[in-house]
Amino acid sequence: MLISALLSGRPADAVPLFPYHSFGAIPQAFSSVEGDFNKDGKLDLIVSGFAYNVALLLGGGDGTFSAPINISGYFTRSPVAADFNLDGNLDVALAGDSSGMQVLLGDGKGGFGRPLSPPVPYGSRPAVLAVGNFNSDAWPDLVSGGLYSDDWIYLYPGRGDGSFGQPARISPGAPGFLAVADLNRDGRSDLVAGSQVFIGRGDGTFLPAFSVPVASGFTSLTVGDFDGDGRPDIAFGLYPGTLAVHLGAGDGTFGAGIETDAAGVQLRDLTARDLNGDGVADLLALAGPHQLHVYIGTGAGTFSPPIRYTAGIRPDSFVLADWDGDGLLDVATADDAFSISSVGKINVLIGRKDGTFANQLRLPTGPGPAAVVVADFNDDGNEDLAVSNTGSTVFGSFDVSVLLGIGDGTFAGQTRFPAGNVAGSLVTGDFNGDGRKDIVTGGEVALLTGNGDGSFAAPIRLAVRPGAVATGDFNRDGRDDLAITDPPSNSVTVVLGLGGGTLSSPVSFSVGELPSVAAVGDLNADGAADLIVANSGSDDISILPGNGDGTFGAESRFAVGDSPVSLGLGDFNGDGMLDVAVANALSNDVSILVGTGGGVLAASESLPTGS
Share the mean pLDDT of the chain: 82
pLDDT at 396 over 60: no
Q: State how beta strands 168-172 and 233-238 pair.
A: unpaired
pLDDT of 542 = 95
pLDDT of 75 = 60
**Do residues 608 and 588 touch, judged by C-beta distance below 8 A?**
yes
pLDDT of 233 = 92
Distance CA 103, CA 93 (A): 4
| Model confidence pLDDT, tens digit, residues 185-200 | 899 999 998 888 999 9
Looking at the chain, the whole-number percentage of residues with pLDDT higher than 90 is: 33
Distance CA 32, CA 207 (A): 32
Average pLDDT over residues 260-279: 86
Looking at the chain, the whole-number percentage of residues with pLDDT higher than 70 is: 85
Q: Is the bond leading into 315 cis (omega within 30 degrees of zero)?
A: no
Average pLDDT over residues 171-196: 88
pTM exceeds 0.85, yes or no: no
pLDDT of 1 = 30
pLDDT of 280 = 92
Q: 574: left (phi > 0), else alpha (psi -120 to 50), else beta?
A: left
pLDDT of 595 = 87
Distance CA 20, CA 332 (A): 9
Least confident residue range of 116-130, 272-286, 331-345, 433-447: 331-345
| Model confidence pLDDT, tens digit, residues 12-53 | 332 332 334 444 444 445 567 889 999 999 989 888 765 547
Distance CA 238, CA 322 (A): 29
pLDDT at 342 over 80: no
How long, in residues, is the chain?
Answer: 611
**Do residues 333 and 318 touch, judged by C-beta distance below 8 A?**
yes
Least confident residue range of 92-101, 246-255, 277-286: 92-101
Average pLDDT over residues 249-259: 87
Q: Cβ neighbours of residue 294 under 8 Å, at least 6 residues apart?
A: 275, 282, 283, 284, 306, 307, 309, 355, 356, 357
pLDDT of 130 = 93
Res. 2 pLDDT band, cuts 50 70 90: very low
Distance CA 492, CA 505 (A): 14
Give me the sign of the Cα torsion angle 24, 25, 29, 35.
negative
**Do residues 53 and 26 touch, judged by C-beta distance below 8 A?**
yes
The upper half-sphere exposure of residue 48, i.e. CA atoms within 13 Å in the direction of its Cβ, equals: 25
488 SS3 class: helix
pLDDT of 237 = 86
Listed residue (444, 490, 495, 494) closest to 467, CA to CA: 444
Q: State how beta strands 29-35 and 21-24 pair.
A: unpaired
| Model confidence pLDDT, tens digit, residues 566-588 | 888 888 777 888 888 888 888 87
Q: Residue 59 has what DSSP assignment?
A: B
pLDDT at 420 over 90: no
Res. 422 pLDDT band, cuts 50 70 90: low
Residue 487 has φ and ψ, to the nearest 5°, of: -60, -40
Distance CA 478, CA 566 (A): 27
Average pLDDT over residues 523-528: 89
- Transcribe 365-432 into DSSP letters: -SSSEEEEEEE-SSSSSS-EEEEEETT--TTSS-EEEEE-B-SSS-BPPPEEEE--SS---EEEE-SS
| Model confidence pLDDT, tens digit, residues 456-465 | 999 888 888 8
Distance CA 71, CA 56 (A): 7
Least confident residue range of 128-132, 467-471, 503-507, 601-605: 601-605
Res. 73 pLDDT band, cuts 50 70 90: low
Report how far apart, in Å, the C-alpha atoms of 356 and of each of 207, 268, 406 are: 40, 19, 22
| Model confidence pLDDT, tens digit, residues 362-387 | 567 777 776 778 889 999 988 888 88
pLDDT of 475 = 92
The upper half-sphere exposure of residue 41, i.e. CA atoms within 13 Å in the direction of its Cβ, equals: 2
pLDDT at 81 over 90: yes
Number of neighbours of residue 47 by Cβ within 10 angstroms: 29
pLDDT of 29 = 53
pLDDT at 177 over 50: yes
Distance CA 241, CA 464 (A): 65
pLDDT of 10 = 29
Res. 273 pLDDT band, cuts 50 70 90: very high
Torsion of CA 9, 14, 18, 20, to 10 degrees: 50
Number of neighbours of residue 308 by Cβ within 10 angstroms: 22
